[in-house]
Chains A and B, each alone.
Chain A
Amino acid sequence: MEATSHAFKSNARHALEDAQLQRAMTKLGFREARAAAAARLPEFEELRDQGRDIKNHVLAHLDLYLERYEAELVKRGGQIHWCADAEEARRAVLAICRRLKAKTVTKGKSMVGEEIAINEFLEANGIAPVETDLGEYIIQLRHEPPSHIIAPAIHLTKDQISDSFFENHQRYGKSRRLEEASELMAEAREVLRAKFIAADVGITGANFLIAETGSSVIVTNEGNGDLTQNLTRAHIVLATPEKLVPTLEDATTLLRILARSATGQEFSVYTTFSTGPRRADDLDGPEEYHVVLVDNGRTRLLGTEFQEVLRCIRCGACMNHCPVYNAIGGHAYGWVYPGPIGAVLTPALVGVAEAHDLPNASTLCGRCESVCPVRIPLPKLLRHWREREFEAKIPPARARWALKLWAWLARRPALYRLATRVAMAFLGALGRRNGRFRSLPLAHGWTDGRDMPAPEGPTFQALWAARRGGKP
């Protein structure tokens, strides 16, 4: 997917002014649901610790777990395609589709698929990919990217969805613009049912890959992933290496914290462990099972101060709880992953030059870290990006020099006391009548939206010194 993260500031501005988006964002109810689910499970906090530890263990042994995973997968008749980057992954997928003379491909939701822009590539090569997750299907109709990693159409109102269905379903003989959510879903079910059955190849992502059995795990509430991967001649799994977990038990631990953190459900409706193609005596299932394992920048993060971000299990809790995400929605971040996880991953995967705003557009409030099921220290990682940016002189010179001036002054207490006394006396006198400023020449960013309370006038240090009879 093409990144527009460089336009973050104007993206955000548009998002703030987008009344429909703002209305849609108020419907984000995952926070309360997560809190309720956590409250229902006394062991929830300890499971988070274990989830973190499992992921850390895997990352420290990722090469070996991958080798073992590969061996098991192959033993069960699966095929694995190691791809260094998006380009190689796209070609691997295309080669499979071409060999099978595929005309349509159904897709379960895959963030990695977005990363490698597989849909555009298949279309350009005469193959029609159909998104089957309802939210993904809707945004595919609208030619929009996802705005949330588990609820991709969260930015849309029902009216917008009605419009999209009405425009696009006429070719299926539908002529009525539907109003009710239930009607919309029924129509999507019918339209997509035909696609599932007609598809030649099914592509899904993977929530987890399991070394012990060579399995891939997908988690859905709709069942679209299962219909995608069971009805075609080939099932292709798109995955990155850090999806690996050692055993079925380890996957189970992570699954316990995944749904609860994402939607507040006890468990997702459909959690499916797939291992290889149909067996000789199976009655259904794909004849071929392929795993396209794409690195796309993950390995580069191992062994760095950003390694912990690879623990992510893609629950979306961080963005659900982020005040910035809730204000501007997902599209403003400009790439596949929005919210706090996006602010850390995007610079890592598309570069800091493109994504430099993302790690800075945060108050470092820490709510994300407090809800991350695998305890990723997101604020710390955001700060690391800020450090890298500062070293690379990415912040505007004005900002860097202001910091340097403040720091220079702060290291000289006597001069600091003098300078601040003068400045605050001036501002204090200026602001005394109203107690606040409606506008301040050098601080219009602040005063455009709120008043600036005026300083009292004297500084504490001056008053303290006077009280003690000393020099100010």
Chain B
Amino acid sequence: MRVGLFVTCLVDLFRPSVGFAAVKLLEDAGCTVEVPRAQTCCGQPAYNSGDRKDAKPIARQVIESFAGYDAVVAPSGSCAGMIKIHYPELFRDEPEWERRARELASRTHELVSFLVDVLGVERVAASYRGSVTYHDSCSGLRELGVKAQPRKLLASVEGLTLKELPGAEVCCGFGGTFCIKYPEISTRIAAEKTKDIAATGAALLLAGDLGCLLNMAGKLKREGSRIEARHVAELLAGMTETPAIGERRSAAPEGPR
């Protein structure tokens, strides 16, 4: 299967290792992975701010760049949701683009649910000695039904103990532009989340969306917590040697050789 990887702007800019983990997982499952160069952003910031006019050209660019792939996979519930659920809505007044958006939507998936639901992956080769907890990012959960799939793959990781997060389905307070427009409310919601995370006793926080992770890791670090945060793809791909999110690093990463 020929997969076009939708990297997402946050992964591209902040944590490329998530992108490489996604590639590894997809290649291990038998896909060939390409990364169209003309991708930048899915258009969520504009769309969710009510700026349909600016969201549309970005969406058209995505639709065009990802034509022809058997599947389009993103290591993010919110970006995959944007493409899958919201692109058709975005073009509701333009029948031809709506048709193309629906066509792309039918091929677009969030990473972990793609592995489990489409490729039938049941286990990963990675092992991890330690306790983790998992936060269900809102878009992935509610727009795309991502819930059981990451837990299924985590259960196959040798040595790993999953401690369920109370309030796993409660928003972390990131919300894209929300955390910038209403920072105090966002910080408070994040504080409730880190309280729940700490209560699990887990040493590592996982989730499927980097926006959520940057938010939660940032709050954990500000609170002086030793709990680390990673994208679930990194752990599933066995790539946990690099510094976790927000942890210091000695030199710029070179990416896997």
Contacts and interface: CB of A to CB of B under 8 A. Distances in A.
B189 A387 contact: no
- Of the four ranges (under 10, 10 to 19, 20 to 34, 35 or more), the interface on chain A belongs to 35 or more
Interface in A325-348: 326-328
Contacts of A424: 13-14
A454 B250 CA distance: 13
Interface string B42-81: 0101111111101101100100000000000000000000
A327 B221 contact: no
A434 interface: yes
- Of the four ranges (under 10, 10 to 19, 20 to 34, 35 or more), the interface on chain B belongs to 35 or more
A432 B171 CA distance: 29
Interface string B88-116: 01000000000000000000000000000
B50 A363 contact: no
Given A420-B12, A432-B248, A403 B218 contact: no
A156 to B, nearest CB: 20
B255 A390 contact: no
Given A323-B170, A323-B171, A452 B218 contact: yes
A407 B45 CA distance: 9
B252 A457 contact: yes
Nearest to B214: A453
Contacts of B243: 435
Interface string A457-472: 1111101111100000
Given A387-B50, A446-B180, A366 B143 contact: yes
A435 B49 contact: no
Interface stretch (B32-40, B149-157, B199-207, B233-241): B32-40
Interface string B239-257: 0000101111111111110
A413 B189 contact: no
Contact of B13 (A362, A364, A455): A455
A363 B174 CA distance: 7
Interface string B168-200: 011101111111111111111110100000000
B175 A365 contact: yes
B133 interface: no
Nearest to B50: A386
B169 to A, nearest CB: 7
B134 to A, nearest CB: 17
A449 B178 contact: no
A407 B178 contact: no
A451 B19 contact: no
Contacts of A38: none
A409 B12 CA distance: 15
B138 A367 contact: yes
B198 to A, nearest CB: 15
Contacts of A328: 185
B187 A450 contact: yes
A449 B192 CA distance: 13
Given A363-B175, A395-B49, A456 B15 contact: yes
Contacts of A467: 255-256
Contacts of B181: 360-361, 399, 445
9 contacts: A364-B48, A403-B45, A407-B46, A411-B61, A445-B180, A455-B13, A456-B17, A463-B254, A464-B16
Given A370-B142, A449-B222, 12 more contacts: A323-B192, A363-B174, A364-B138, A367-B138, A369-B142, A406-B45, A407-B57, A435-B249, A436-B218, A450-B219, A452-B214, A465-B37
